[in-house]
Structure 1
Amino acid sequence: MHTHSNQTREALRAAACWLALLESGRASPSDLERLAQWRGSSSEHEQAWQKAQQLRQRFSQLPPELAMATLDRPQASRRALLKQALGLAALAPAAWLLSRQLPLEAWTADVHTAVGERRRLVLSDGTVLQLNTDSAVDLNLEGASVKLLRGEVALAVLHGRNQVLQQPYGQVVISGADVCLHLFEQACRVSVVKGQATVYPLSGGAVVLQAGQQTDVGADGPGRVAALDDLLLGWREGVLRLNDRPLGDLLNELRRYRPGVLRWDPELERLRVTGTFRLDDTDRVLALLAASLPLHVQTHTRYWVSLTAREIRG
């Protein structure tokens, strides 16, 4: 469902990495040759590169005084200033691309995290709110509701308390329960760890989820109720736990916590992996995989890493 969008987004991230390398002044002749090969490998790559060039040219015309004024404004005017000029994006077009085209409301959110960052807050009613990597939420003044703008959140609501979590495809009413929401391109996954939650979609009838259940809610309403996928919940403790799962499952989750590009040979996805991997050091996770599985880790730059299959010799 998300294949085309994910490919476009990855091409933009790759273009941002190439742009950052060129602007650093450290690009070698072989780097330039690799860039030419990357651009020529698909029309999508070339379109992403042209967009990066257009952004660089556009932002280069911004007077430095305006950029400095943006940074010097008081914190209280942050939202209005961003909505008027997007000055922060103007200061660093490569970083803007690396943000994977964040919606404006995510830039101006009450609480947000960068790629690889996680945050934990306690709201006024005692609700514990956790944000996963690359996520953003808005909070109302009383703390009675949370609006998910991007990424993934977990809420632990005290017994006897209610919390409303809004998302683009409806809302979730949580009463004394632990619930996780993950917003994708065209759906929001609601997972109940403890207690129960009621999903009120924009289209279709309400769905009550019990502990150990999850469902995806989209523009057409809720999907089928399925068993909870434990792999997707370990981030609350800063880990990914796998028990005889395909390596592709781990890699697809792992690159959410790494800025830049992480690529791998498709044949590696079939390898099986078991273990607990800490999210605070993804470089170490890759090193552990290379030590235990037939694969090589190739680090082109800090923000460009590729995994290739290693031949097994008898």
Structure 2
Amino acid sequence: MRSAPSSETREVARAAAQWLALLESGAANADDHARLQHWRNSNSQNESAWQKAQLLRQRFSALPSALALATLDRPDPSRRAVLKRALGVAALVPTAWLLGRQLPLDVWRADLQTSTGEHRTVPLADGSSLQLNTASAVNVDLGARQVTLVRGEMALKVAGSAPLTIQARYGRIIVSRSEVCVRLNEHDCRVSVVSGSVQLQPLFGPQLELREGQRVRLRAEGAGQIDAFDAQLPGWRDGVLMAQNQPLGDFLRELSRYRPGLLRWEPELEALRVTGSFRLDNTDRVLSLLAASLPLQVHSRTRYWVTLIPQKNQPKNTPPKNIG
């Protein structure tokens, strides 16, 4: 089930790096800016790659001066040729960075993947069911009875008695006649049991059993404290994002996982509270609901670059509202 990275994805990252180099050179004219805008607006993958390219401006701040000097005092017919050669060299470092960050090798080579905002259900040959959340990747080896979570979040339902082992960064989860969700974060791995029970083998510390309605975070130093949750509430497996008197900042950080491009908000909005259930298949509508029920406005520079700002002449301390 191994698959090589698509040439289209690599070309998008490469194009974003070349656009960045062109703009930073100071040689871009009005037509160049118009073509860049058209390229960005043509699809979400282009816009997402461009937003990542913007982050390179400070990292490679020495490049623009070098490019500009290379094109000064040149006859106009040869100016473009010189610029093209300079851009070819300058784009090498940004392209390598973009490809390395956007397309890590382990994700390229994963057996199953989802893109941002995508949700996927895969029946396995042994009768088990695997679901992948947004921007996730797994490897499946039924011969070894193992699923490896490479990135993101997955749910596994094992109906038979033969256990399947989920290999995650901070430990192993043994699943038999149970359903479990596993989310890989930057510094931990969250394990939540939807039905049945599972055995946890942290990298360090004792093994433990986790039962239905319980969850725990696995870290490098071992398992954290077990807490409870309502396993019957809808969640990402049902395409729903739930909030119960949640700080808006936390809600938006979670929502941004399902949106391509950039979602930003002013710090003053962090402490507002939100309650409701929201469909994840239309995150633009979620933002519209927030704007209709909370003192904020949605400003869209492009479809993939959205900023939330406080609404003028509105009190900052607004009581929580159910807006789902």
Q: TM-score, normalised by structure 2?
A: 0.68
Unaligned runs of 5+ in 1: 1-14, 29-43, 63-89
Secondary structure of 1:125's aligned partner: coil
Provide the residue aligned with 1:286 in structure 2.
287
* Residue type of the alignment partner of 1:120: T
Q: Aligned-pair distance for 1:312?
A: 3.7
Distance change (3 Å), C-alpha of 1:190 and 1:233 = farther
Distance change (3 Å), C-alpha of 1:19 and 1:308 = farther
* Residue type of the alignment partner of 1:274: T
Distance change (3 Å), C-alpha of 1:102 and 1:197 = farther
Distance change (3 Å), C-alpha of 1:118 and 1:313 = closer
Q: Aligned-pair distance for 1:50?
A: 4.6
* Residue type of the alignment partner of 2:197: Q
CA contact (8 A) 1:148 1:166 kept: yes
Provide the residue aligned with 1:25 in structure 2.
33
Q: Aligned-pair distance for 1:160?
A: 2.5
* Residue type of the alignment partner of 1:253: E
Q: Aligned-pair distance for 1:218?
A: 1.7
Provide the residue aligned with 2:212 in structure 1.
211
The whole-number CA distance in structure 1 between the counterparts of 2:21 and 2:124 is 38
Secondary structure of 1:270's aligned partner: coil
Provide the residue aligned with 1:127 in structure 2.
128
CA contact (8 A) 2:295 2:314 kept: no
Larger deviation, residues 288-297 vs 237-246: 237-246
Provide the residue aligned with 1:6 in structure 2.
none
Radius of gyration: which is bigger?
2
* Residue type of the alignment partner of 1:214: R
Distance change (3 Å), C-alpha of 1:184 and 1:25 = same
* Residue type of the alignment partner of 2:258: Y
Provide the residue aligned with 2:179 in structure 1.
178
Distance change (3 Å), C-alpha of 1:263 and 1:274 = same
The whole-number CA distance in structure 1 between the counterparts of 2:63 and 2:253 is 25
Q: Aligned-pair distance for 1:206?
A: 0.7
Q: TM-score, normalised by structure 1?
A: 0.70
The whole-number CA distance in structure 1 between the counterparts of 2:294 and 2:22 is 30
Secondary structure of 2:196's aligned partner: strand
CA RMSD of aligned residues (A): 3.6
CA contact (8 A) 2:217 2:225 kept: yes
Provide the residue aligned with 1:162 in structure 2.
163
* Residue type of the alignment partner of 1:219: A
1:241-268 per-position Cα deviation (integer Å, ceiling 9, x unaligned): 2232222232111100111111111221
Q: Aligned-pair distance for 1:98?
A: 8.8
Q: Aligned-pair distance for 1:225?
A: 1.1
The whole-number CA distance in structure 1 between the counterparts of 2:176 and 2:112 is 23
- Percent of residue pairs bearing the same amino acid type: 49
CA contact (8 A) 1:159 1:177 kept: no
Provide the residue aligned with 1:299 in structure 2.
300
Larger deviation, residues 229-238 vs 110-119: 229-238
Distance change (3 Å), C-alpha of 1:57 and 1:121 = farther
Q: Equivalent residues in 2 for 1:267-282 (5 A)?
A: 267-282=268-283
CA contact (8 A) 2:247 2:273 kept: yes
Q: Equivalent residues in 2 for 1:39-54 (5 A)?
A: 46-48=57-59, 50=61
Distance change (3 Å), C-alpha of 1:179 and 1:25 = same
1:14-38 per-position Cα deviation (integer Å, ceiling 9, x unaligned): x98x94995973369xxxxxxxxxx
Provide the residue aligned with 1:199 in structure 2.
200
Unaligned runs of 5+ in 2: 1-15, 38-54, 67-83, 316-324
The whole-number CA distance in structure 2 between the counterparts of 1:149 and 1:188 is 11
Q: Equivalent residues in 2 for 1:64-83 (5 A)?
A: none
The whole-number CA distance in structure 2 between the counterparts of 1:187 and 1:45 is 28
The whole-number CA distance in structure 2 between the counterparts of 1:106 and 1:245 is 32
Larger deviation, residues 267-276 vs 169-178: 267-276
1:34-54 per-position Cα deviation (integer Å, ceiling 9, x unaligned): xxxxxxxxxx87544659989
